[in-house]
Structure 1
Amino acid sequence: MVFLHVVLGLAAHEACAHPGGHGAFGLPFHHRAQPAPVFKPAAPVIPIQLVSAPPPGQGLANVAIDDAFETFQKLGGLQTRRDGRYFCVAGSGLPDHPLMVGIRAWQQQVPIPQPYHGDNAWRIPLEPVPAAKPLSAKNRFLRGAIALAVNGIPIFNPLNNRGEDAFAIGELDDFGGHCGRADDYHYHIAPVHLEEQLGKGMPIAFALDGYPVYGYTEPDGQAVTGLDALNGHEDAAGNYHYHATKNYPYLNGGFHGEVTERDGQVDPQPEARPLREAKAPLRGATIVGFETTGEKSWTLTYEIGGRKGTVAYSFAADGSATFRSTDPAGKTTEETARPRGRRPGGGREKGNGREPPSPPPSRRGGQPDAPRGAIRNAPRPVIEVTSAAIGEDGRLPVEFTCDGDGVSPPVAWEAGPLGTKEYALVLWHEAPDRLKSYWVIHGIPADVTELKQGSVRVGTIGLNDKGRAEYDPMCSRGPGVKSYHITVYALSEVAKLPPRGANREQLLAAIAGTTLAEGTLSFDYERGGKK
């Protein structure tokens, strides 16, 4: 069982703050390793008091928000309080059910405790106000949470930050969740499995506009009818509420109530706090196990082609964590990460957004781990990047490497947003010791959306890691499959760079405030691979 460390108190300006504050690692965290049926929670280890739903005809407003969270508060996982206009919920962001198992599109993130407490606690309006113009969450609010489950786990937009249905493409575990770029666990669909602990008829979540989210039926067990475009409607007493559905949008499809949108997410909401750099997708991996191995340690097991790999990680008393990864070939790497203060995480880089954002599960289009030193501002629209040279196996043919002709591969991308003045491109790889860049191009005209094989006449060719203004064909010295990435940036201004070309660091610094959209194509290369 996961015990959530929580601290909550009162602060000025209606913030859910605690004067003293505590870290996220003050209590032991435990987790039961066991198979989990889809969307069904593990049995609780202590008795649960079910809270009764309101009698028929009395309306949903009779279910106080305090009662909805009471079950998980009694489990020791949450602390709650009313604070001015808000109902404040504090916890560690780790649920009391098996995690991660069943994910088929994994970006190598693992669940760690998050400090959702003090002034970083969740806040739900106590008195929701109907909006003059309700807002849809389709292709909007793609960062951060749109609701909070009554077990304290945030629920993100069902669409990931590339606008794809996260559930449909295999990014979610058996309970509808996964980890974002800050190793923050969150759901992307309605957690209807909580009804087994709550009893049917209770809200399973609250949207961040303050309205409750119920399961597949009405509180009295009747079938749900007449849902609006946001998956909500009013009960007989005129109380608005949302419902879970088995198809998109799965929960609230937006906000019937007033919310503030800032940087692509609902504001205010907590920030996830990462310990390490976000990872890139691991092609072909399926997560098959997650277990507790000690007081503050866990092991995640994944499988690629029938061979297993693991990520074992543990926390020390100072809040640092050691991650020991063993790939299916038996190679082991170790990384120690220490708290770095506030830095947004989640489905995207900033906010609890997601993520995130989550890097793409496939090799086409999305946005995997950005290079160190890359732009880490608000999330941007994602442009699809493709290459006719890369097949369905995601492998780069040998002709584009040092073992072949060593020419640059063909690359194409969709047109950037309105206002795009030019494009830039970087081919990069994250080695164990540093990030390497093999191909840098800037000044690509706005009306160009592809580079032919062996292209040398489009844009300005920048400097690779060897200080040469040319494409550097990959020539891996180590054994095994390596992952590489081509990122294309759509820019709102012509970048001010040296006329003879800039290196990756200079390029990223120059476009930090002018990037309108970006997209990344990921692919694999193994030395000695087939043509």
Structure 2
Amino acid sequence: MINQKQTISTLSGLVLCLGITISACNNSDSSVNPTTTGSTGTSSTTTSVGTGVPDVYKKIYGASQIYVEGDYIVIKSSGLPDHKTPYYKGTQWESTLYVADTRSDFHANSNTITSFSYTFKIPKNPVVASTHKALQAATIGVAINGVPLFNQYQMENQLLTPGAGEYVSFDLYGGHPTPFSEYHYHIEPNYLTATQGSSSLIGFLLDGFPLYGPVENGKTLTSNDLDAYHGHTTVTADYPNGIYHYHTTADAPYINGNGYYGTAGTWSK
């Protein structure tokens, strides 16, 4: 495993939710209906897509803007989840997006959700890196609903473990906010795999390589099916000629392993 202390650059990167709480996140909330493409957690929003943006990036329905800037794809989003969660309690969206989580093994942390102005800048044509860079602290990519993807570590650089630590504070869809109100996923975003499909595109890591759900060709993958970076090269529905891509798995490290397969871009808020 990577020593994340070498990559921590901001205070918010250290934070992953002080009020420890979550369950295995394989449940679904029957009271939550799928949102339509082009909507976010707060209101109906039209994604502005610039010229030259490849079709696969148009699946990022939670973005406010997607455009090409040189050799990069720029994705802007608020980071607000488009599904109900107990972490909307006490916010301006509580009346429509708050839902109580009554699972006995769920323990909500004390944080709530806030909207940000995220900018993710990822390589348009990702390639394998000559030197694989360690994961950055916290944010490592973006999901198709515009929510940041985090690494597999909680505070103190400890690997997240089901039923313990911060893991017990994950809501029904595998997310929770930091003390800085940054909602994010460390594990499979169950809302996306439930509404889009378990083999569907989930998002992109900062190196530009896509992230898919846990199922491929009818098989539910585990980390043993993937390489040290939690991915492999095969044909996908979006890349008929094949591409390296990551998968979420139920077992650690969940989204990414020993660093980026490609050269990471940047993110800011």
Q: What is the TM-score of this pair, normalised by structure 2?
A: 0.64
* CA pair 213-230 structure 1, distance change in 2 beyond 3 A: same
Q: CA deviation at 1:240?
A: 0.7
| Residue 40 (structure 1) aligns with | 28
Q: Which string of whole-angstrom CA distances, capped at 9 and with x for unpartnered residues, describes residues 245-295 of structure 1?
A: 101011122211112xxxxxxx62113xxxxxxxxxxxxxxxxxxxxxxxx
Structure 1 residue 164: deviation in Å?
2.4
Following the alignment from structure 2 to structure 1, what is the Cα–Cα distance between the partners of residues 231 and 225? 8
Report what 1:252 is aligned to. Answer: 256
SS at match of 1:196: helix
- Out of 70, 84, 95, the position equivalent to 1:98 is 84
Amino acid of the structure 2 residue aligned with 1:81 = Y
**Are the structure 2 counterparts of residues 148 and 202 from structure 1 closer, same or farther at C-alpha, using a change threshold of 3 Å?**
same
* 1:66 alignment partner AA: Y
Question: For residue 34 of structure 2, what is the amino acid of its counterpart?
Answer: P
Deviations 1:294-338 (A, max 9, x none): xxxxxxxxxxxxxxxxxxxxxxxxxxxxxxxxxxxxxxxxxxxxx
Deviation at 1:187, TM superposition (A): 1.1
Aligned equivalents of 1:129 and 1:46: distance in 2?
A: 32
- The question of 1:133 aligning with 2:135 is answered no
- Which residue does 1:386 correspond to in 2? none
Q: What secondary structure, in the 3-state scheme, does the structure 1 residue paired with 2:193 have? A: helix
Residue 154 (structure 1) aligned to one of 148, 161, 170: 148
How far apart are 1:97 and its partner, in Å? 0.9
Distance 1:222 1:134, change over 3 A: same
* Shift, 1:38, TM fit: 4.2
Q: Which residue of 1 is the match for residue 21 of structure 2?
A: none
Q: Which amino acid aligns with 1:44?
A: P
Secondary structure (helix, strand or coil) at the match of 1:197 reads: helix
Change (3 A) 1:233 1:47: closer
**What are the residue-to-residue correspondences of 1:56-135 with 2, within 5 Å?**
64-69=55-60, 72=61, 78-99=64-85, 100=87, 101=101, 103-104=106-107, 106=109, 108-116=110-118, 121-135=119-133
From 239, 251, 262, give the equivalent of 2:243: 239
Task: Provide, for residues 317-371 of structure 1, a one-character-per-residue CA deviation record: whole Å limited to 9, x for no partner.
Answer: xxxxxxxxxxxxxxxxxxxxxxxxxxxxxxxxxxxxxxxxxxxxxxxxxxxxxxx
Q: Between the two proteins, what is the percent identity of the paired residues? A: 32
CA distance in 1, matches of 2:161, 2:174: 7
CA distance in 1, matches of 2:253, 2:183: 20
Match in the other structure for 2:175: 177
State the Cα distance separating 1:216 from its structure 2 match: 1.1
Would the aligned equivalents of 2:198 and 2:214 in 1 still touch at CA under 8 Å?
no
Secondary structure at the aligned position of 1:88 is classed as strand
Q: Which one-letter code corresponds to 2:148 in the other structure? A: P
Shift of the 146–47 alpha-carbon distance from structure 1 to 2, 3 Å rule, reads closer
Alignment of 1:252-401 (within 5 A): 252-253=256-257, 254-259=259-264, 268-271=266-269
SS of the equivalent of 2:132 reads strand
- SS class of match (1:255): coil
State whether residues 145 and 157 of structure 1, in contact with CA within 8 Å, keep that contact through their aligned partners in structure 2.
yes
In structure 2, relative to structure 1, the CA distance for the partners of 1:43 and 1:258 (3 Å cut) is same
For residues 46 and 209 of structure 1, do their structure 2 counterparts lie closer, same or farther at Cα, with a shift above 3 Å needed?
closer
Q: Distance in 1 between matches of 2:267 and 2:245?
A: 21
> Which SS does the other structure have where 2:169 is aligned?
coil
Q: Which has the higher strand share?
A: 1
**Structure 2 residue 229 is the aligned partner of structure 1 residue 230:** yes
SS at match of 2:246: strand
Q: Tell me the secondary structure at the aligned position of residue 65 of structure 1.
A: helix
CA distance in 2, matches of 1:158, 1:68: 24
Contact 1:87 1:124 in 2 (8 A): yes
Shift in alpha-carbon separation, 1:155–1:167, aligned structure 2, 3 A: farther
Alpha-carbon distance in 2 for matches of 1:165, 1:40: 25
Question: Contact 2:233 / 2:243 at 8 angstroms: preserved in 1?
Answer: yes
CA distance 1:228–1:47, shift in 2 (3 Å):
closer
Please state if 1:221 is matched with 2:181.
no
Q: Which amino acid aligns with 2:113?
A: P
Where 1:194 maps in the other structure, the secondary structure is helix
- Separation in 2, partners of 1:189, 1:134: 22
Relative contact order (C-alpha < 8 Å, sep 6+): which is higher? 2
Q: CA RMSD in A?
A: 2.7
Paired residues in the alignment total: 199
8 Å contact from structure 1 (residues 68, 202) kept in 2:
no
Aligned partners of 2:202 and 2:211 also within 8 Å: yes
Change (3 A) 1:81 1:40: farther
Inter-partner Cα distance in structure 2 for 1:252 and 1:235 = 17
For structure 2, the residue ranges without an aligned partner over 5 or more in a row are 1-24, 39-53, 88-100, 236-240
Alpha-carbon separation, structure 2, partners of 1:124 and 1:192: 24
CA distance in 1, matches of 2:191, 2:147: 13
Any idea what SS the aligned residue of 2:156 has?
Answer: coil
More helix by share: 2
> Is the CA contact 1:39–1:176 (under 8 Å) kept in the aligned structure 2?
no
